Amino acid sequence: MHLQMTNEPITIDVEASGFGKGSYPIEIGLVLPDGAPHCFLVSPPRTWKHWDAAAEQVHGITRETLFSYGRPVQEIAWRLNELLQRKIVYSDAWSFDMSWVGKLYDEANMQQTFKIADISDLMDDAQRAHWDEVKQEVAQDLGLRRHRASGDARVLQETWRRLQRQSL
């Protein structure tokens, strides 16, 4: 187990139905500062039709899985607000993740009570320069076989943690 550092970031990752216009969130994963993971499969509303087979190859989540195990957008939006109210959560693809989470909140007709920011905002230039290298090491060390949102959020948090330790 790792040593708890102060002010560890909450990290978030979003898997989506595709990579471009019309895509929507299908899985939202986050890891809290204490390492507790949370993951939500999204049941797509009827109006969300876009599906990209190439994206499915990356995350391995089928539409059938979403319809069987996904939760309604209102439930997920409420739960995220409960967990993250007035906090900043960090992503390494914040512009995409912010857009997809915004789409979830628009569909739920709810106000998002947290902010998504770029995890690189928490690093200096030297740490940013080593991000990709350390992230690959972390992913290997954690041995995560699937590309899924909560696992990816865990990789982000652990990568940030290692970069902080290297700076000490």
Domain boundaries, the chain: 10-167
**DSSP-assigned letter for residue 144:** -
Quote the pLDDT of residue 168: 60
Q: How many CB atoms lie within 10 A of CB 137?
A: 14
* Neighbouring-strand partners of residue 28: 14, 40
Per-residue pLDDT, 2 = 38
Q: State residue 20's pLDDT score.
A: 84
Question: Residue 19: what pLDDT?
Answer: 87
pLDDT-derived band at 118, boundaries 50, 70, 90:
very high
pTM above 0.85, yes or no: yes
Q: How confident is the model over 68-90, as pLDDT tens digits? A: 999 999 999 999 999 999 999 99
Place of tokens 């512009």: 95
pLDDT of residue 5: 43
Tell me what the mean pLDDT of segment 112-117 comes to.
Answer: 98
Q: Say yes or no to pLDDT of 143 above 60.
A: yes
Q: Are strands 25-31 and 37-41 parallel, antiparallel or unpaired?
A: antiparallel
The tens digit of pLDDT for each residue in 90-105 reads: 999 999 999 999 999 9
Residue 22 burial class via C-beta count within 10 angstroms: exposed 0-12, middle 13-18, buried 19 and up:
exposed
3-class SS at 60?
A: coil
Residue 41 · residue 151 · CB < 8 Å: no
pLDDT at residue 166 in the model: 85
What is the reported pLDDT for 4? Answer: 39
User: Which class is domain 10-167?
Assistant: alpha beta
